[in-house]
Structure 1
Amino acid sequence: MSTLPVQKMCCHVPPLEEVAEVLQKGLAANFAVAEVKVVDCPDLSVAPFNLADKGLCGQPRLVDIGGVDHLKPFPRKDKNYELQKICDLCEMPSGGLVIGAGAGPNDVFGYNCEFICNARLGGDCPSDKSKISKVKEDGQSLQLDSNSGRFSLMGNFLISEGKPGKVLEVKVSQRTGKQNFVECLHQTLARHYGDGRGVGLGGTFLLQTGKANIHVMPGFLTEAMETEEQTLNWLKFYDMDAPLVHVGEVVSADPQGLHLRQEHFHCFSDHGHAGHYHYDTTPENASYLGYFSLAEALYRIDLPTNTKYFF
């Protein structure tokens, strides 16, 4: 693990008030109700978010490990990672709050699955509330606890000290546009800040009401995966009910050509629904509440040698 290649990108960090104004305009064009402001981070360790630490502040950074290309043309089952070692490579050796989206540890569970990372590493009260979502034999999805501190294939996480501090609070409802919530955040930042500056946003959002289209990766394919059509036929899609807590990140641009995954959020719930967020399926009844911090840097770890993303 210590020999994994690491590339570091310093993120553009505008004032929070500026980003709030930028996002307010973009979201208002896609939702009937939109409000973005700078607030003191609430205690996210309690319901409804139930994160492994209270806040999103303290040296916030994004990390992009591996990638979907570790699935093709055949899965790289040897690509397994440890959260603590990822923190070490991201210059956070004391650990911290790690939240985000990845693939579940197939070396632990023995099957392919989604990973919803929600762990506090180090400190006085380490805690791992991470989940996985798998496809059962009957085709339904199942959420399970994952407290091994490991994941496989890919990961997109926000790492911070988990401290209180100023964050962006985003409230939107009644989607009127075509862009999903995450896409709207990403495209709004991308339009305003351009290709030459990467603004990194990491945190959590709650789909408070409505339903969402969520995919869960099933077992590995035995034949070569080479096209987008194969991928979409392989993935299992579900209409899942709110409330759904999402964790992940957005980066507005890839100015250094690091083949960054620029949007990636996974969700978990108290009612057993979990997986990879695509979009809400009840736009008139969709409402979101999110809290985000701005990353100071992004670390690209173990970039696949074959980079042809298709989902």
Structure 2
Amino acid sequence: MTTLPVQKMMCHQPALEEVADVLQKGLAQNFATAEVKVVDCPDLSQVPFDLADKGLCGQPKIADIGGPDHLKPFPQRDKNYEVKNICDLCEMPQGALVLGAGAGPNSVFGTNCELICNARTGTERACDKTKIAKVQEDGSYLQLESNSGKFSLMGNFFISEGKPGKVLQVKASNRTGRQNFVECLHKTLGQHYGEKQAVGLGGAFLLQTGKAKIHVMPDFLTEAMETDEQTNKWLKFYDMDAPLIHVGEVVSADPQKLHLRQEHFHCFSQHGQAGHYHYDTTPDAASYLGYFNVAQVVYRIDLPKNRNFLF
């Protein structure tokens, strides 16, 4: 097993019913219609979610690996990771369902790209539906299958045994406020639970209708990347169409100053569109359906030495 520095932070894990009430109130301030309740997790391996396992229960955890700082001032191409090893470091040696956002394995695809991790590791129920999104030479983007089990630079994953059980069902539509769906979840939890305790939330949500602004990282810059302006010029932004399946995690606070990326979701689709979620661009037409679980612990793995997020 590859040895990487690991720091472990226990999360505040309130009852799902309490979190549902908190999120309900927050979403209602940002969407015309909002409903959050505790339900039995449906089979998320089926359409429309198409996840690599059925549920989100069983030792729910969050892993925050590397970070965007591995891109600056020049990309650290040697920062390459394996999903199976991350499961081992997160004390899930028998395998797990790993969902989330990161950078695709540039050693495999020959270019920098976005990772949409959707994999079940282990021997009994192994399944890998992971995808990447990359920018082509003409400026268009392409969604591809990625079953190498590898990624580079960064990753923000929700990890569980993939079992059925009780989860949060979140529905929201007709955005009336300025906060995007993920931002609303994050800020609602942060405002309610404060900075001294972290609540971790992870899983998947579907943009059912409408369009969204999505970015895809192109290949690495040859010049030093040191400012937000450089970053925004480098990233490629696209309008993409529902339905889009998003996977990732939210952490409400960073009380141990682990330089956590507190919200990160990437999307994939059955129609070839994929990348990093920013916000819906058709608020009146936007509708969301999500299933989430509350994490027990966050593992901060391979914290970058130079820390100053670019995006």
Which TM-score tier does this pair reach, normalised by the shorter chain?
Answer: over 0.9
| 1:279 equivalenced with 2:286 (yes/no) | no
Flag structure 1 segments of 5+ consecutive residues without an equivalent.
Answer: none
Letter of the 2:193 counterpart: Y
1:57 is matched with which residue? 57
1:108 CA displacement: 1.0
Once the two structures are superposed, what CA deviation does each residue of 1:194-215 show, in whole Å capped at 9, x if it has no partner?
0000000000000000000000
Letter of the 1:203 counterpart: G
Q: Secondary structure at the match of 2:26?
A: helix
- For normalisation by structure 2, the TM-score amounts to 0.99
Work out whether residues 173 and 286 of structure 1, in 8 Å CA contact, stay in contact via their aligned partners in 2. Answer: yes
How far apart in 2 are the matches of 1:127 and 1:14? 31
Q: Percent identity, please.
A: 77
How far apart in 2 are the matches of 1:95 and 1:260? 24
Letter of the 1:251 counterpart: V
How far apart in 2 are the matches of 1:155 and 1:219? 18
Q: Secondary structure at the match of 1:226?
A: coil
Q: Secondary structure at the match of 1:283?
A: coil
Work out whether residues 2 and 89 of structure 1, in 8 Å CA contact, stay in contact via their aligned partners in 2. Answer: no
Letter of the 2:113 counterpart: C
1:66 is matched with which residue? 66
Deviates more, 1:1-10 or 1:244-253: 1-10
Once the two structures are superposed, what CA deviation does each residue of 1:9-41 show, in whole Å capped at 9, x if it has no partner?
000000100000000000000000000000000
1:119 is matched with which residue? 119
1:79 CA displacement: 0.2
Q: Secondary structure at the match of 1:56?
A: coil
Work out whether residues 210 and 286 of structure 1, in 8 Å CA contact, stay in contact via their aligned partners in 2. Answer: yes
Work out whether residues 113 and 133 of structure 1, in 8 Å CA contact, stay in contact via their aligned partners in 2. Answer: yes
Q: Secondary structure at the match of 1:285?
A: coil
Q: Secondary structure at the match of 2:62?
A: strand
Work out whether residues 27 and 184 of structure 1, in 8 Å CA contact, stay in contact via their aligned partners in 2. Answer: yes
1:38 is matched with which residue? 38
1:125 CA displacement: 2.4
Once the two structures are superposed, what CA deviation does each residue of 1:35-94 show, in whole Å capped at 9, x if it has no partner?
000000000000000000000000000000000000000000000000000100000011
How far apart in 1 are the matches of 2:97 and 2:265? 16
1:123 CA displacement: 4.0
Work out whether residues 114 and 132 of structure 1, in 8 Å CA contact, stay in contact via their aligned partners in 2. Answer: yes
1:137 CA displacement: 1.0
- For normalisation by structure 1, the TM-score amounts to 0.99
Letter of the 2:156 counterpart: N
How far apart in 1 are the matches of 2:96 and 2:227? 38
Which runs of structure 1 show a deviation greater than 6 angstroms over 4 or more consecutive aligned residues?
none
| 1:104 equivalenced with 2:107 (yes/no) | no
| 1:289 equivalenced with 2:289 (yes/no) | yes
| 1:153 equivalenced with 2:153 (yes/no) | yes
How far apart in 2 are the matches of 1:24 and 1:125? 34
Letter of the 1:276 counterpart: H
1:102 CA displacement: 0.2
Q: How many residues align?
A: 311
1:305 is matched with which residue? 305
How far apart in 1 are the matches of 2:208 and 2:129? 20
1:138 CA displacement: 1.0
How far apart in 1 are the matches of 2:250 and 2:191? 14
Once the two structures are superposed, what CA deviation does each residue of 1:124-175 show, in whole Å capped at 9, x if it has no partner?
2211000000001111110000000000000000110000000000000000
1:3 CA displacement: 2.2
